[in-house]
A and B are shown apart, each in its own frame.
Chain A
Amino acid sequence: MTIPIGGHGLSCLRGDDYAAIPLWMQDAADSIDSSLSEGRQLLDSYRNRPWYETVNNSSIPVNNLSGYLLPEGAVGEVAPRSGPWTTFSNGLIDNTSNGSLPAGLYLAGSSVTWTVATPNNNTLRTLEVFGLNRINGNVSINVTYDILFQNQTLEASNGLNSLNVTGYIMSDGTLAQIVAAFYHSNTSSDLVVAAGNWRLWLMYMGSGLVI
């Protein structure tokens, strides 16, 4: 009868177990293989962290309010929505209609560059990323919004015209999707975001278990 050793399924033989050596070697080999393979899966997962990114693939005018929760009087646009978006991913799914993202720690960000027909030295441009939460991933239950991070710049006549925002998100399993909103309050200054100039991305960092 063998003696258990350690916590990875290994054992050693007693003096009268000589006849069981082949069985012991097979058992030891399988235990070593199982423990190492489990560790390698975790390492492979860490080496190839899931992410997704969505980019607009045609021009977007920013003068129509999307219907999402934005400051009253603002005109804006939301990414992604039905329309000209191309999504790339490595195992992370942008749940636009159902489901939730795995619980854990994420890094998210967005970047937008625009042109403006009539720049004026007034009003703010705002880029923000917010999360849509669905209880148990159920799209029919009321969706809640969490504004996660935001960046702003003043509209100026100097032509500098980009915003970038990044931040961490800790999800308890109810986060279904991240969304970026870009908006301004000067309805006399139509903005246009050319193709390829608005990106929204999300990267999974880890389970981030908190006790």
Chain B
Amino acid sequence: MPGSTDNLAIGYPCVGEPVTSATFSEFATDVESALSSTWTVADSALKPPTARVSRYFITAQTINAGVVTTISFEDELYDRGSFWNPASPTLITLPVTGTYLVTTRIHRSNQAGTLTGIKSSILLAGSTIAASSDNNIISGETGTSITCAAIVHATAGQTMTITGLFAGTVTIMVEGFFDITLISTT
């Protein structure tokens, strides 16, 4: 058909051109194609890569005083984009290039030992993007937690980790969450 629309190239006959069943078939095919491509955009926009990975429901992780320790995750509550692979439990692998919103939390799950401060860091390819610490702590109390958030600009395949560090006298047990969502492909 000689005519077509500006954006999605839906064809149509011009005045005086014979209209046959094939004309309608081509028109329906073009509309179907336009709808399908639009649904692909919608799917991408409304279902971005996103994941929540945790070390919470199974066992806690030991962190020794004064030692920066990479959190090793055990489970994923949801993972659209295959961010986490249990074969490499400390790594979050970014599936597409773009900007991600990342929020993390680690918290203490035991009471033993003296705790004077706690720090958590978000790293991209081994470099710290964001960090937070808290020195206003009641030493023997469980539930001490530290949260951290950042937007991260990354290329597909780069990996992220979170670390914990505490100041005190003995080991503590920690649990944690890592939440990530793609917010922009730029």
Chain A interfacial positions (CB closer than 8 Å to B) = 21-23, 25-26, 28-30, 32-33, 36-37, 39-40, 43-44, 46-51, 53, 88, 90, 107, 109, 111, 113, 151-156, 158-164, 166, 197, 199, 201, 203
Residue interface mask B95-136, A partner, CB < 8 A = 1: 000010101000000000000111101000000111111111
Contact indicator A162/B14 (Cβ below 8 Å): no
Q: Which of B7, B10, B27, B119 contacts A162 (CB 8 A)?
A: B119
Given contacts A25-B12, A32-B31, contact A164 B130 (CB under 8 A): yes
Q: With A43-B41, A49-B184, A90-B186 in contact, is A156–B153 under 8 Å at CB?
A: no
Residue B82 lies at the interface, judged by CB distance under 8 Å to chain A:
no
B38: CB under 8 A from chain A?
A: yes
Which 9 residue pairs spanning A and B have beta carbons closest together?
A: A158-B167, A164-B132, A162-B131, A111-B130, A33-B5, A160-B133, A47-B45, A156-B135, A160-B117
Which of A25, A40, A113 makes the CB contact (< 8 A) with B13? A25
Knowing A154-B136, A158-B116, the reply to whether A113 touches B41 (Cβ < 8 A) is no
Contacting residues, chain B, for A48 (C-beta < 8 A): 184-186
Judging by beta carbons under 8 Å apart, are B12 and A26 in contact?
A: yes
Mark the stretch among B69-77, B143-151, B154-162, B170-178 that contacts chain A: B143-151
Chain B contacts for A44, CB-based, 8 A = 41, 45
The docked-state distance in angstroms from the alpha carbon of A88 to that of B131 is: 20
Binding site for A on B (CB under 8 A): 3-8, 10-17, 19, 23, 27, 30-31, 34-35, 38, 41-42, 44-46, 48, 99, 101, 103, 116-119, 121, 128-136, 147-151, 153, 165, 167, 183-186
Q: List 9 A-B contacts (CB under 8 A).
A: A46-B45, A47-B45, A48-B184, A113-B131, A154-B135, A162-B119, A164-B131, A199-B150, A203-B101
CB of A23 to closest CB in B, whole Å: 6
Across the interface, name the chain A residue whose C-beta is closest to B43: A43
Nearest A-chain residue to B184, judged by Cβ? A48
Given that A26-B3, A90-B184, A159-B167 are known contacts, is A111 also in contact with B38, CB under 8 Å in the complex? no
Contacts of A159 in B (CB 8 A): 167
Residues in chain A near residue B130, CB distance under 8 A: 111, 164, 199
Give the interface SS of chain A, mostly helix, strand, loop or mixed. Answer: mixed
Bound Cα distance A87, B46 (Å): 28
State in angstroms the CA–CA spacing of A107 and B132 once bound together: 18
Known: A26-B3, A51-B183. A33 touches B10 (CB 8 A): yes
In the complex, A33 Cα to B30 Cα: how many Å? 10
Docked CA distance A163–B130 (Å):
9
Task: Tell whether A160 pairs with B165 under 8 Å between CB atoms, given A88-B153, A111-B131, A111-B148.
Answer: yes
**B17 nearest CB neighbor, chain A only:** A22
Q: Is the CB of B116 within 8 A of A156?
A: yes
Instruction: Give the CA-CA distance A76 to B127 in the complex, in Å.
Output: 26
